[in-house]
Amino acid sequence: MLFKNEITPAFAAELMQDSDKVLKFVADIKWEQGYACRNCGHTNYCEGKTASSRRCTRCKKEESATSHTIFHNIKFPINKAFYIAYNVCVLGSDFSSYNFSDQLGLNQMTCWKFRKRIQNCMLKFEVSKKIEIKQFLMTEYK
């Protein structure tokens, strides 16, 4: 099981209800060592247009909380994506994309693709090894 001890069930339930909280959670982990602009390397930023995004004060390039993470370019609410990730990784749920589609009111193919992404990500890690949530979240998808 991934990051079971890093996210309590109560906190997970909170995240599943609130996209902004998921974005903040991902941003806090992503930039825990500090911010550096991917475009120019500058370390000063201001708030971007979307929740928890950061905008370089020099070149004005904005980076969302989720870009270059497992949630890269997700086109549906991030709290729903978190729900799928948590169920698959932490709870070890064998819900199909049809189950997720019903529960979340999302297109089945959307659920299938994201579930597949999570499963592919997990395959990159050794089963026996304890995976920290940071390693998991920062697995890049382009």
**Between residues 54 and 115, which has the closer beta carbon with respect to Zn ion?**
54
Instruction: Write down the least CB distance from residue 75 to Zn ion, Å.
Output: 26
Nearest to 140 by CA among 78, 81, 69: 69
Of the candidate spans 1-9, 61-69, 96-104, 116-124, the one that interacts with Zn ion by CB under 5 A turns out to be: 61-69
Q: Do the Cβ atoms of 136 and 121 come closer than 8 Å?
A: yes
Nearest to 96 by CA among 108, 85, 107: 108
**Between residues 59 and 109, which has the closer beta carbon with respect to Zn ion?**
59
| CA gyration radius, the chain | 15
**Can you give the length of the chain in residues?**
142
Contact with Zn ion (CB under 5 A) among 2, 15, 37, 89: 37
**Between residues 27 and 56, which has the closer beta carbon with respect to Zn ion?**
56
Binding of residue 39 to Zn ion (CB under 5 A): yes
Binding of residue 59 to Zn ion (CB under 5 A): yes
**Between residues 56 and 70, which has the closer beta carbon with respect to Zn ion?**
56
How far the first Cα of the chain sits from its last, in Å, is: 25
